[in-house]
Amino acid sequence: MLWSLTFMEFPTLTPTPSTYVDGGVKKNMAVTQFEAVDARRCFPCWDEPALKARFKITLDVSKEFMALSNMPVLDEKLTGDIKTVYFEESPHMSTYLVAFVIGLFDYIEETTVDGIKVRVYCPLGKSEEGRYSLSLAIKVLDYFTKYFSMSYPLPKLDMVAVPEFSGGAMENNGLIVYRENLMLYDDLHSSAKNKQVLAICVAHEVAHHWFGNLVTMAWWSDLWLNEGFATWVSYMAIETLFPEWKMWTQFLQQTASGLVIDALEESHPIEMEVHPARSIDDKFDAISYKKGSTIIRMLQIYLGDENFQKALSEYIKRYAWKNAKTDDLWAVISEESGTQINLMMDTWTKQMGYPAISVKSSDNTLEFEQSHFLLSGLHSDSQWIIPITLSLGSYNKQKNFVIETKFHKVDISKDFADANTTTTPETIPNTGDGNFWIKVNTSQSGFYRVKYDDKLASQLRKAVENNVLSETDKFGVLDDAYALCQAGQQLLSSLLSLIDVYRKELDYIVTSRLIHVCNGIVNIATEAIPDLVFELKQFFINVLQFSATKLGWEPILDEDHSSAILRGRLYTALASFDDDKTHEEAMQRFQAYMRDRKTTLLSADTKMAVYLAVIRKATVSSRYGFESMLQLYREADTAENREEILRILAACPDQDLLVEALDFLVSDEVREQDIVYGLAGISFEGRHRAWKWFKDNWDPIFNRYGANFLLTNFVRDIITPFCSNEEANEIEEFFATRPHEAVAMDLKQSLEQVRIKARWVEFIRQDHSLPDLIEKLAAKGSS
């Protein structure tokens, strides 16, 4: 099938106009975003992923504009002020991947070793900020070509940064579109964290040219074949290119996010029913991306890298230019690896949720029991076929096996012969300290929780304290304990005692999770035990102070990438806990920056921490911090700088100032796509005022944002901070007369999370050991 499409000048089209300022003059460009089902709004077509066609596109544009599409330009003709641009015919592809961009750009280009011309199109005057993305694209194209044993399938690749875009980025065939902050990088002013985010984003979108564009899901019910695989392979590519970044370790953040959403009753299976097609919009979520990518990683480790790579290469070859279903993938992998995985993987993709594995030690036997883990405390009969990895006192002593039933036993009598040997994963020395520990789910490669009996949990806590566990396992011990506590299966006092042994942690991924857990505890304690919150914050400040002091505010010459990211994360956390010393230092650095924008006292990596400290001190009667942030926002000349300010603007505890911040977010000064940054930063203290503001402004918010993804962010970010059933009832009552299909799933999930926290509040109030424990922990000081 061949579609020959001619589009007249863009003001008459359905593509969204994207505005920008050039020399003080506001100008327009046009950019398309057809995924999932919007190609039909632009041209008549059978707008389904399985109905692939070849496309021959012609664009009529004003002569001063550039016109880009999926394929290279074949010819151009000028008739008066109108330029007609003819593009080469495309290979077979789905309608949602058709794209064009019309506007003014500067560009830079390179050619791969295979002769693929790669161009990066940037805002006028900013082409050098695209240099990093260009180099990444060249490298990952080569990596994916080798990994999949299949060349990049198109004659060119264009990547375009646009100022306004509904998604973060879109993998249109041969024409990837990005928001500016996900493609442009400035060596002098961009943070290490942004450098990493950008790298993953570029790798993710380029990877889609194999998983998604070349081999496409047959229907939206298999969306995860696109997004889960692109997420997984993007981390693998960046791990290979930048091994010092430890991306597989950082991948645990993807796993953790997937585990949170999939522990809800309102979750959904990876393979899901999607009818009608437009209902797919709210399935671009943590299940498709994060759970999907994690079970791929789990399967990769289960089968081995070589077998898995061989199978994927055959899958790509067999279904190139075609469509496939999940069952097709499992069939090829089973055939190529020699291991039948269909039954096992069906338990992970065809049913929602995941198991918690209870582990008990009895004599020389480990007893396992699996059950469906739900944060609500409810139970189901679901079971999984689970590949288990297990370490016994040493990373030299591991067991791998599969649990296929509810109960399972493993004999470890032979392993007790070496019970006095404990090792670190890096050097494997004999520490000779006489401790024996057992860690299930080694390296956190599986998508499940582990609940240990008291003896095993105590041994693991000692192993964390003695620093004999890998960073991934220290992450896992803490993350599982936090989830069990939220579900009412572990006391908060037990979790706080565990946190106490993380005082000297310096690894980025572990400390980042530690901060996440501490933030969650402070928020729930504000509702459950408000009289203890000050001491609780002081305890957490003391826990983090060792790492913060070790790193300091200033960058260290030749320090590693993760130290730069960790520095910003630590001081942002200390600012959020209202640490006086952090606030004082931050204010001094901020005032120096306001006097001199070139000062070295405010680095790209600590800027967010400083901004947060300043905004948390701002009030209606003392507006310096708030007004300064607005000034900096209006001066900002990069999307990254504007994003940093929006992320903290609504973090002020002052209720009236919070309303001003929310009003600013929905003003004409903020692009619609950027409102999400501000919503995610609303202070916990301001949750009630934010909800009132949302109710008062529902009609204009709904009328303006009801047709796109943004409305779900309003719902999720304003509702989920609540912690009581009374508030959940009020929210339900409000939306009962305001039903909207686009936010239905997010509303249900948000309300469930509120009720889960309400249940947790009651559990905490029954833990009578907390007052004495928190007082004791807070008094210990920093190590």
What span, in angstroms and rounded, lies between the C-alpha atoms of 50 and 29?
31
* 317 phi, psi to nearest 5 deg: -65, -45
Query: Given the structure tokens 């480990």, which residue do they identify?
Result: 366
Q: For residue 517, which of 552, 489, 479, 490 has the smallest C-alpha distance?
A: 479
Q: Are 92 and 100 in contact (CB under 8 A)?
A: no
Q: Which residue has the tokens 């931050």?
A: 586
Alpha helices in 242-351 (DSSP H): 247-250, 252-261, 286, 292-303, 305-319, 326-337, 342-349
The answer to whether 228 touches 237, Cβ cutoff 8 Å, is no
The DSSP 8-state label assigned to residue 215 in this structure reads B
Q: Which runs of consecutive H residues, i.e. helices, occur in 552-606? A: 561-576, 580-595
Angle between helical axes of 744-765 and 508-528 (0-180°, round to 10): 70
Given strand 386-392, what is the order of strands in its sheet?
398-403, 386-392, 438-440
Which run of H or E residues covers position 639?
helix 639-649
Q: Measured between alpha carbons, how far is 35 from 278 in angstroms, rounded to an integer?
A: 10
For residue 209, the one-letter residue type is: H
Residue 380: how many CB atoms within 10 A of its CB? 13
Q: Which of 205, 505, 585, 752 is catalytic?
A: 205
| CA nearest to 354, candidates 441, 287, 259 | 259
SS3 389: strand
Nearest residue to 353 (alpha-carbon basis) of 264, 481, 254: 264
From residue 8, alpha-carbon distances to 14, 67, 555 in Å are 11, 12, 52
Output the CA–CA distances (angstroms, integers) from residue 97 to 68, 137, 204, 548, in the order listed: 14, 19, 15, 46
Would residue 584 show up in a list of annotated catalytic residues for this protein? Answer: no
The number of angstroms, rounded, from the C-alpha of 449 to the middle of its chain's C-alpha atoms is: 20
Strands 365-372 and 355-362: antiparallel
Residue for token pair 């007249």: 8
Residue 578: partners with Cβ closer than 8 Å, 6 or more residues away:
537, 616
Q: Under DSSP, is residue 669 helix (H, G, I), strand (E, B) or coil? A: coil
Pairing of strands 216-217, 66-69: unpaired
Write out the DSSP string of 367-380.
EEEEEE--TT----
Distance CA 138, CA 143 (A): 9
Cα distance between residue 509 and residue 514, in whole Å: 9
For 305-337, letters b (16+ CB in 10 Å) and e give eebbbbbbbbbbeebeeebbbbbbbbbbbbebb
Q: Which residues are catalytic?
A: 205
